[in-house]
Amino acid sequence: MALPSDPIMLLSVVNLKLRDFYPSLDALCDDLDADQSALCASLAAVGYEYDAARNQFV
């Protein structure tokens, strides 16, 4: 599955998948073959960072 390029849509999709399907960001990126650094950078650009304790971007 290709992740959306729009950062706000990306945030929505990633948080939904983290909530419903994956125990961690590492698991999500491994399964979807996504570049974790690029994903985090894209979301950081709009003010969101991954919170491992909550398993979501906040």
Stated pTM of the model = 0.93
Phi, psi of 51 (to 5 degrees): -110, 105
**What are the residue boundaries of the structural domains of the chain, listed by start?**
7-57
Confidence of residue 44 (pLDDT cuts 50, 70, 90): very high
Phi, psi of 36 (to 5 degrees): -60, -40
Mean pLDDT of all residues belonging to the chain: 97
Query: What pLDDT was estimated at residue 13?
Result: 98
Query: What pLDDT was estimated at residue 23?
Result: 98
Query: What pLDDT was estimated at residue 22?
Result: 98
Distance, in Å, from the CA atom of 49 to the CA atom of 31, rounded to the nearest integer, reads 20
9-22 tens-digit pLDDT: 999 999 999 999 99
